[in-house]
Chain A
Amino acid sequence: MAETIIFQSLPSRPAPVNTEGLVPWVKSNLFANWQSSIVTIIVGALLLYYVPQFINWAVITATTVANADACRAEGVGACWGVIREKYRLIIFGRYPFEEQWRPLIATLLMVGLLVMSCTRMFWKKWLVVAWVIVLVAFFILMYGGVMGLSTVPTDRWGGLPLTIMLATLSIVLCFPIAICVALGRRSRLPAIKTFCTIYVELIRGVPLISVLFMASFMFPLFMPQGVTIDVLIRVLVGVTLFAAAYMAEVIRGGLQAMPKGQAEAAASLGLSYWQTQFKIILPQALAMVVPGIMNNFIGLFKDTSLVYIVSLYELTGALGLALNSDADWRPYKLEGYLFIVAIYFAFCFAMSRYSLWIEKQLNKSKLR
């Protein structure tokens, strides 16, 4: 009998063409072939032409003096003085000037807790207690009427605190509603299924503006005499219900993508419907649609700017309020808008980065 041949594996060696590093990246992304080289050159030329102009306007010839006459002088670029002059009105809206430390503290508290809530280290039971305390503190600080604080009615609330409060509360409240509606649309019980479907289709069929109008102007007509619900709460409910319908569909997408075997395995182990949903299906389904969920949250954050049509002046509304009423500064709206663009961008970019981090965390179980 012939002797067995011993198998020997070849040693591994590096790839012949270097694909990592700056030069290969530039080559393959910017100058891969003649078409992409032409596009790269055109875009590069445009950037070279416009970027210096923008920098010239925004930095070199700009002025930061809070004086409208200085801005009108010949050869002056951006007039950042408008922000110096009006920033308190833009950020706090119509909130009484001397009391603006209250929304400042309230907002810092809320943002601080938001950041904490996003960190795994703090995912403990007391976080819920902390939220209750901060929300109560937020409303006491904002509304006043106790502990020697003067009362500030909700129609005077405005600017960034209002934006953050509306966005935070509607995000937190819409999420559980959306989960229930998404599960409901897949329910085997016809009544629940129909109700959830009608809810989603109705809300998605109308613009947010009309929901806000209904909440603000029509809803009080149906209330019994003498009963009033604060406009802020009505608007909050409107925004929340609106966002929940969209969110529900994103979550339903995740539920649809779950392989049937997961629910079957859970059933075969004796888990109940709710145990299956909360322990098995939702954790995986939600992880799959994190980009969609965050997309909606970011959209919701910016949609709050629509509440100006029911006379609540959040950040965008407050900018209009600050500049429209002042003929001296009205021409410098562009600078004002760039200012709030920066604020919106900071928040939305943070949310988007956070969503990437979450995705990474959730994908850990999938890495080999």
Chain B
Amino acid sequence: MTTETPDNIIVFDKLNKWYGNSFHVLRDINLQVKRGERIVICGPSGSGKSTLIRCINRLEEHQEGHLWVDGTELTDDVKAIDKIRKEVGMVFQQFNLFPHLTVLENLTLSPMYVGKMPKKEAEEKAMAQLKRVRIAEQAGKYPLQLSGGQQQRVAIARALCLTPKIMLFDEPTSALDPEMIKEVLDVMVEMANQGITMLCVTHEMGFAKAVADRVIFMDQGQIVEQNNPHDFFNNPQTDRSKDFLSKILGH
């Protein structure tokens, strides 16, 4: 059975992953993501949310099942991995900016060395992305001279510099001060409205309600429940998701 169609940009087919021999972190994952779809993944810590999206750009490798991204199956084939990484941007919880490079250099690195773009063009494109995340005036600074919210916006701009088809967000606001979460979410909402495929691991339920087409709830390495945000939040189907929602929405 293959559910790969031109409509589906990401297809997980009975995917299983283990850490070492005994920790079965992803169990029988079946998931199809449509082009332009915006998905929020939530669930308790250790449920495999991050591992799931990290499989998409092969930061983690799976041992069983199949995974197609934009028509290419992810295997050990380095060329396939390189191709997919050019099409998938990722934003991390800890920003992971390169502290020894300026903001602008952080953004131009990949277009210049992976995309073989001339320096001038890469810089113009980088400045355009920095304007998009409203931080162009900080281009010459080093990442550690910026606030957390600013750093995360730079990280988003950096991921956008390769004009990816898919954006992965791994808890993008979890390391931020409460006052800075909004400025990052605003940028993400703006992106969501521009039609890029987004998979976002987050506990920002307001964000999920505002932009997600689908909410996926995971526990113990499995997809427990998926639904549109309205129905998921108002009418969860499983005891596990009811319990989870009562805990995070309870106060």
Residues of A within 8 A of B (CB): 259, 261-262, 264-272, 275, 279-280, 283-284, 287, 362, 364-368
Contact = CB atoms under 8 A, between A and B. Distances in A.
A278 to B, nearest CB: 10
Given A264-B92, A270-B86, A366 B142 contact: yes
Given A265-B96, A270-B110, A368 B144 contact: yes
Contact of A280 (B85, B94, B98): B98
B99 interface: yes
B99 A284 contact: yes
Nearest to B93: A261
25 contacts: A259-B96, A261-B94, A265-B90, A265-B98, A267-B58, A267-B59, A268-B85, A268-B88, A268-B90, A268-B168, A269-B158, A270-B82, A271-B110, A271-B113, A275-B113, A279-B113, A284-B100, A287-B100, A362-B100, A364-B142, A365-B100, A365-B101, A365-B144, A367-B145, A368-B144
B110 A262 contact: no
A366 B144 CA distance: 6
B128 interface: no
Interface string B88-114: 111010101111111000000110011
Contact of A271 (B100, B109, B143): B109
Nearest to B82: A270
A265 B85 contact: no
Given A267-B59, A284-B98, A365-B142, 7 more contacts: A265-B90, A268-B85, A268-B89, A269-B85, A271-B109, A271-B113, A272-B82
B215 interface: no
Nearest to B111: A269
Nearest to B145: A368
Interface in B115-130: none
A268 B100 contact: no
B57 interface: yes
Contacts of B86: 270
Contacts of B218: none
B162 interface: yes
Contacts of A365: 99-102, 142-144
Interface of B: 57-59, 82, 85-86, 88-90, 92, 94, 96-102, 109-110, 113-114, 142-145, 158-159, 162, 168
A271 B57 CA distance: 12
Given A265-B96, A287-B100, A365-B99, A271 B145 contact: no
A265 B59 CA distance: 9
A269 B89 CA distance: 7
A269 B162 contact: yes
Given A261-B94, A261-B96, A269 B109 contact: yes
A368 B144 CA distance: 7
B151 to A, nearest CB: 12
B96 to A, nearest CB: 4
B85 A267 contact: yes
Given A262-B96, A269-B158, A279 B109 contact: yes
A265 B170 CA distance: 12
Contacts of B90: 265, 268
Contacts of A272: 82
Contacts of A264: 59, 92, 96
B114 A270 contact: yes
Contact of B57 (A262, A268, A362): A268
Nearest to A366: B144
